[in-house]
Amino acid sequence: MIRKAVIPAAGYGTRFLPATKSQPKEMLPVVDTPTIEYVVREAIDAGIRDILMIIGRGKRSIEEHFGRNVELEDQLIAKQKTAELESIRTLPDDVRIHFVWQNEQNGLGDAISHARDHVGNEPFAVLLGDTIVESFEERPIIRQIMDVYQEHQEVVLALEEVDPQHVSSYGIVGGEPIDERTWRIDRMIEKPTLSEAPSRLAVASRYVLPPEIFQALDMTTPGKGGEIQLTDAIRILLADRSIYGYRINGVRHDIGNKLDFLKTSVLFGLKHGDISDEFRGWLVDLVAGWGER
Ligand code: G1P
C-alpha cells in the first residue's frame, strides 16, 4: 500500500520570472488556489495522509500556506464568513504535512533523495508541485498510478503523449504496450532530441517509486543540465526490475510555463463556481470582437 507522498517544490521558477523572483512557482494561483494546493488535494483524494514537501530557499510561503492561521480564522468566524473560512481549512484533520530542506537546487533526483529518511523502506508516490494533472475520471491521476502499482508492485510512471517539438522538454520512455493504457518500459531518456527520443510518451509529473530508488540516486551522476536527474536513477533500476508506464486518463497543466498557466487559468475559471458565468460571457464577447482589435 502507498501511504506517503513526496512533493518536490524546490526548483527555481526561471521560466516564470519575474513573478517567481521572490515567490515560489508552486504558489502561483490558478483562479484562487495555489497550484501546490491542487497537488496536495490530488494526493489526499487518492487516500494519502502523509505528505512530505521538499522545499528550499524562497519557498517558506509554502510552509505558511499549509499551516493554520488561527487569527484569520477567528476573524472570519466573527464576521460569519463561512465560505471564506472553509476555503482556508481544506485539509482533513488526519493529514500530516512535513517539510524537508534542500540546501542546493541540484535537480529533481537530488530533491527526491532528501525524502529518504522520511520515506524509509516503503514505496511512495511523487507528485511534482508545479504541475496540476486534471483527471477525466473519478480517480485522481496519482490514484490511477497507484492502482497500477498495486497490480505490479514495481515503479510506475504517469505518461502523456506530447507533440514532437516538445519531446526535448521531458523524460521520454520507450517500451511495449501491455494493454490499452499500460506500458512495460525498457528505455528512458531525459530531455532527448527528437531523433534520440524512443517515442513521444513523456513522463508526466507523477510517479510511484520503490525505496530502492534511493540507492539508485546514490549511484546517479550529474546528467542533463549538470543536475542529478530522477529519470537517470529510474533507468538504473531498469537493470534488474520492471518499470511500468500508464497513459493517464487526464491532462497535465504545467503551471511553471507561462502559456500553460494562462490556458489553465482560463479552463479553471470557466468551471469556477463564483465567476464562471460572468467569465464565460466576457470571454465569448472578447473572442467575438477579436477581429475588430
Ligand atoms: C521533470 C522531469 C522530466 C519530466 C517532467 C514533467 O522535468 O525531469 O523527466 O518529464 O518533469 O513531469 P522538469 O520539468 O522539472 O525540467
CA 88 to ligand 1 centroid distance, Å: 30
How many Å apart are CA 127 and CA 97, to the nearest integer?
14
In this predicted model, what pLDDT tens digit does every residue of 73-111 receive, in sequence order?
Answer: 999 999 999 988 988 887 898 999 999 999 888 999 999
Q: For residue 293, what pLDDT is reported?
A: 63
Rounded average pLDDT over 271-284:
93
How many Å apart are CA 105 and CA 100, to the nearest integer?
13
Return the half-sphere exposure (C-beta side, CA atoms, 13 A cut-off) of residue 155: 26
Select from 39, 127, 128, 254 the residue to mutate for testing ligand 1; criterion: most ligand atoms less than 8 Å from CB: 128
**CATH classification code of 4-256:** 3.90.550.10
Q: What is the DSSP string of 183-208?
A: EEEEEEEES--TTT-S-SEEEEEEEE
Q: For residue 99, what pLDDT is reported?
A: 96
Q: Which of 32, 39, 30, 33 lies closest to 9, judged by CA?
A: 39
CA 108 to ligand 1 centroid distance, Å: 8
Select from 26, 205, 254, 257 the residue to mutate for testing ligand 1; criterion: most ligand atoms less than 8 Å from CB: 205
State the greatest distance between any 2 C-alpha atoms of the chain, in Å, as a whole number.
62
Q: For residue 22, what pLDDT is reported?
A: 87
How many Å apart are CA 67 and CA 85, to the nearest integer?
14
Backbone angles phi, psi at 174, to 5 degrees: -130, 155
First to last CA, the chain: 56
Whether 10 contacts 251, CB under 8 Å: no
Q: What is the percentage of the chain residues whose pLDDT exceeds 70?
A: 99
Question: What b-and-e string marks burial along 176-186, b requiring 16 or more CB atoms within 10 Å of the CB?
Answer: eeeeeebbebe
User: CA Rg, the chain, in Å?
Assistant: 20
Helix axes 141-152, 35-45, angle to 10 degrees: 40
Residue nearest ligand 1's atom 7 by CA: 170
Q: For residue 14, what pLDDT is reported?
A: 84
How many Å apart are CA 94 and CA 35, to the nearest integer?
22
Question: Is residue 199's pLDDT more than 70?
Answer: yes
CA 171 to ligand 1 centroid distance, Å: 6
Residue nearest ligand 1's atom 5 by CA: 170
Q: For residue 257, what pLDDT is reported?
A: 86
Question: Is residue 46's pLDDT more than 90?
Answer: yes
**Residue 174 cell numbers, joined:** 520507450
Domain chopping of the chain, boundaries: 4-256
The whole-chain average pLDDT of the chain stands at 94
Q: What is the percentage of the chain residues whose pLDDT exceeds 90?
A: 82
Say which range, 10-24, 55-69, 181-195, has the weakest mean pLDDT: 10-24
Backbone angles phi, psi at 131, to 5 degrees: -135, 120
Q: For residue 87, what pLDDT is reported?
A: 87
In this predicted model, what pLDDT tens digit does every residue of 107-160 receive, in sequence order?
Answer: 999 999 999 999 999 999 999 999 999 999 999 999 999 999 999 999 999 999
Q: For residue 234, what pLDDT is reported?
A: 97
Q: For residue 289, what pLDDT is reported?
A: 87
Q: For residue 292, what pLDDT is reported?
A: 67
CA 78 to ligand 1 centroid distance, Å: 45
Q: Which pLDDT band, with edges at 50, 70 and 90, does 190 fall under?
A: very high
Work out whether strand 155-161 and strand 201-209 pair parallel, antiparallel, or are unpaired. Answer: antiparallel
**Residue 259 cell numbers, joined:** 502559456
Whether 108 contacts 230, CB under 8 Å: yes
